[in-house]
A and B are shown apart, each in its own frame.
Chain A
Amino acid sequence: MTPAFLKLCWIEFRRQWTTTAFVTPLLFLIVGSFIVFIPSPYIREFNVGEKLFGLMSFLVPVASAFFCVGLVHNDVKDGWLRTLLVRAIRREEYLLARSLSMLASVWATVTFAGTLPLLAGVIFTKLPVNFQPGEVLALYGLFLGISLLYISILSFFSCWLPGVVNVVALMAWWFIATAGHAYTTFFLWDSPWAVFADQFLFPNGFFDAVDAVRNNTHAPYIEVLWGTASLAFFWSLSFWSVNRIQVDKGSE
């Protein structure tokens, strides 16, 4: 972490916060508040873990997709990456700084649009509050891993696909993975290779870990190991891709 790298991270972070970027978290805040304060006659307690799960399940993918549209491709197209490379900044350093700034932006949004309504909910609810610090911390940590995963996948797609197509590709992949999972469950459940491929078609280690934490079934260390393996795999793909793309002519 050299001062130059930290400065690059800060520059990338500031570049991200355009006027639109400032308005969008306000919209997310409305949805976040709705999730926290949604009335139901069946709710007997204010379960912080459950609310946090609802908030994160919505905010993390949506905020990641919002900030990561054209993550690399737009920088290639408008010449920003070329400007950086001229200043002896390596491509991988650029991608790392860009991704870390994205992560910071996503989590700033999640904190603003998710954690603030949650805190307000805890303060103002008339129901008994069920707060388990271990569960809440674990959920924050796991969703941090999930947001890193989304950013790595989106940056990989963005190296090869123009503009918003990286987000579309992520959504298409998600649908294919869901269909593939259903097919494997019903027709190929006794094939170890199909089950193995299904696990990696769309990496689900962190998601399984979230399930384990929410249902309090077991300590999800195996799921976290698998999730980290997938995360490192997608980062390696992203770094490899950013080293391969044409910068001078653009990637189109």
Chain B
Amino acid sequence: MHQRQNLFAKGAVIICAVFFVGSLAVDYWPSGSSLTWLGLDEAQLSAGSSNRPVFLDIYAEWCPPCKQMDRFVFPDDSVQDLLTRKFTLAKINLDDPVWGDSVKKRFQVRAIPTYIVLSPSGRELKRHVGFFEKSAFIRWLGDSHLLILSWLGFEKARAQAEFLDKRLLVLVTANSESFEKLNSLIDIPEARRIIDSAFVPTVLTRTNKSDEGFIAQLGAAKTRMDEIIVLEGEKEIGRFVISPDMYFNENRFLQKLSEVSVDPGTLRGRVPPRRRISLSSSQ
């Protein structure tokens, strides 16, 4: 009697089991993406030689949004094309006994999936946490092809500036999200010409932990405004805040940039050297 009574319950259990196993199987089924992912070390080596940024995917096998990205976003032709053309790809499984913990600590990962764009020198440029809709992901990746991303890291830029006897142009930004906006100024042909001829440019981001010390030493404004500081050796030549009106009036930006690019002697009184900055190399 009881056996007959439990017919529906058993049927429902079987349906549940079938769908549960089916869902797990589909979840763990490998995606159709043909992207070649490297380990972080390999990717950074490769990025250094090819001078391409690293796209780092931090994921776990059991993470549903990671699987969704693998299944619906990465196999897309336009995404694959963009990733393979512009980036060196690295993928780290957070459960990896060798890499997982170190990557978690190094990049202060607090959720998965985490996508990080690293400069060829290994500096974190931008990150996104969570599932990305395809077009949003392409937009986000597209923002990464900015002039600023080709700039050297602070210490390398400083060494190169000394070697080439050029000035060091330090762009201090609030966060990597302002790169696109700033790029519209820096990519003006005249601005590019001035920067190429007079400076070795570099960027410090306030949200980047490793940049905090340098930003403090440079005495950058504590506001969230973007600022340019120009150094010659350890001597500050000039600085200016990139005010919102410069985006509407590019000439104002070019004028300020010109002022800090010429010898202070030629503009005596206009851009006086302010102070000597002591920059320690170990941060």
A contacts with B: majority SS = helix
Residues of A within 8 A of B60 (CB): 190, 192
Q: Is B274 an interface residue (CB 8 A)?
A: no
When chains A and B are docked, how far (Å) is the Cα of A96 from the Cα of B63?
A: 35
Given contacts A232-B19, A243-B9, contact A221 B4 (CB under 8 A): no
Query: Which of A46-54, A129-137, A233-241 is the interface stretch?
Result: A233-241
Distance (whole angstroms) from the CB of A49 to the closest CB of chain B: 16
Q: Is the CB–CB distance between A226 and B12 below 8 Å? A: no
Residues of A within 8 A of B23 (CB): 205, 222, 225-226, 229
When chains A and B are docked, how far (Å) is the Cα of A140 from the Cα of B224?
A: 47
Q: Name 28 A/B residue pairs within 8 A (Cβ), A-sorted.
A: A90-B4, A91-B5, A96-B8, A185-B111, A189-B110, A190-B60, A192-B60, A195-B63, A195-B64, A205-B23, A217-B68, A217-B131, A217-B134, A218-B72, A221-B26, A222-B23, A222-B26, A222-B67, A225-B22, A229-B19, A229-B22, A232-B12, A232-B15, A235-B12, A236-B12, A239-B9, A239-B12, A243-B6
- Scoring A residues 84 to 95 as 1 if CB is less than 8 Å from chain B, else 0, what string do you get? 000000111001
When chains A and B are docked, how far (Å) is the Cα of A63 from the Cα of B116?
A: 45
Interface size on B, residues (CB 8 A): 35
User: Using a CB-CB cutoff of 8 Å, which residues 101-148 of chain B contact chain A?
Assistant: 104, 110-112, 131, 133-134
Distance (whole angstroms) from the CB of B18 to the closest CB of chain A: 8
When chains A and B are docked, how far (Å) is the Cα of A8 from the Cα of B46?
A: 71
Q: Is A42 an interface residue (CB 8 A)?
A: no
Given contacts A217-B131, A222-B27, contact A229 B16 (CB under 8 A): yes
Of A226, A232, A235, A243, the contact of B5 (CB 8 Å cutoff): A243
Q: Is A228 an interface residue (CB 8 A)?
A: yes
Q: Is A20 an interface residue (CB 8 A)?
A: no
Q: Is B7 an interface residue (CB 8 A)?
A: yes
Q: Is A199 an interface residue (CB 8 A)?
A: yes
Q: Is A124 an interface residue (CB 8 A)?
A: no
User: Using a CB-CB cutoff of 8 Å, which residues 177-236 of chain A contact chain B?
Assistant: 185, 189-190, 192, 195-196, 199, 205, 215-218, 221-222, 225-226, 228-230, 232-233, 235-236
When chains A and B are docked, how far (Å) is the Cα of A96 from the Cα of B72?
A: 37
Q: Is the CB–CB distance between A190 and B12 below 8 Å? A: no
Q: Is the CB–CB distance between A229 and B131 below 8 Å? A: no
Q: Which residue of A lies closest to B133 (CB)?
A: A217
Q: Is the CB–CB distance between A92 and B9 below 8 Å? A: yes
Q: A185-B111, A199-B64 are in contact. List 6 more A-B contacts (CB 8 A).
A: A190-B112, A196-B62, A215-B133, A225-B19, A232-B19, A243-B5
Q: Is B91 an interface residue (CB 8 A)?
A: no
Q: Which residue of A lies closest to B25 (CB)?
A: A225
When chains A and B are docked, how far (Å) is the Cα of A226 from the Cα of B68?
A: 14
Distance (whole angstroms) from the CB of B8 to the closest CB of chain A: 4
B contacts with A: majority SS = helix
Distance (whole angstroms) from the CB of B23 to the closest CB of chain A: 4
Q: Is the CB–CB distance between B111 and A189 below 8 Å? A: yes
Q: Is the CB–CB distance between A225 and B26 below 8 Å? A: yes
Of B9, B27, B94, the contact of A190 (CB 8 Å cutoff): B94
Distance (whole angstroms) from the CB of B228 to the closest CB of chain A: 38
In the A-B complex, the 7 residue pairs with the smallest Cβ-Cβ separation, listed nearest first, are: A232-B16, A236-B12, A239-B9, A229-B19, A192-B62, A218-B72, A92-B8
Q: Which residue of B lies closest to A192 (CB)?
A: B62
When chains A and B are docked, how far (Å) is the Cα of A232 from the Cα of B18?
A: 10
Interface size on A, residues (CB 8 A): 31
Residues of A within 8 A of B26 (CB): 221-222, 225
Of B9, B68, B95, B133, the contact of A240 (CB 8 Å cutoff): B9
Q: Is B13 an interface residue (CB 8 A)?
A: yes
Q: Is the CB–CB distance between B68 and A218 below 8 Å? A: yes
When chains A and B are docked, how far (Å) is the Cα of A221 from the Cα of B111?
A: 24
- Scoring A residues 9 to 40 as 1 if CB is less than 8 Å from chain B, else 0, what string do you get? 00000000000000000000000000000000
Distance (whole angstroms) from the CB of A194 to the closest CB of chain B: 10
Given contacts A218-B68, A221-B26, A222-B27, contact A92 B7 (CB under 8 A): yes
Distance (whole angstroms) from the CB of B177 to the closest CB of chain A: 21
Q: Is the CB–CB distance between B64 and A189 below 8 Å? A: no
Q: Is the CB–CB distance between B134 and A243 below 8 Å? A: no
Distance (whole angstroms) from the CB of A81 to the closest CB of chain B: 13
When chains A and B are docked, how far (Å) is the Cα of A222 from the Cα of B70?
A: 13
Q: Is B86 an interface residue (CB 8 A)?
A: no
User: Using a CB-CB cutoff of 8 Å, which residues 47-75 of chain B contact chain A?
Assistant: 60, 62-64, 67-68, 71-72
Q: Is B20 an interface residue (CB 8 A)?
A: yes
Distance (whole angstroms) from the CB of A99 to the closest CB of chain B: 11
When chains A and B are docked, how far (Å) is the Cα of A244 from the Cα of B106?
A: 55
Q: Is B85 an interface residue (CB 8 A)?
A: no
Q: Is the CB–CB distance between A243 and B13 below 8 Å? A: no
Residues of B within 8 A of A222 (CB): 23, 26-27, 64, 67-68, 71
Given contacts A217-B133, A236-B12, A240-B6, contact A189 B112 (CB under 8 A): yes
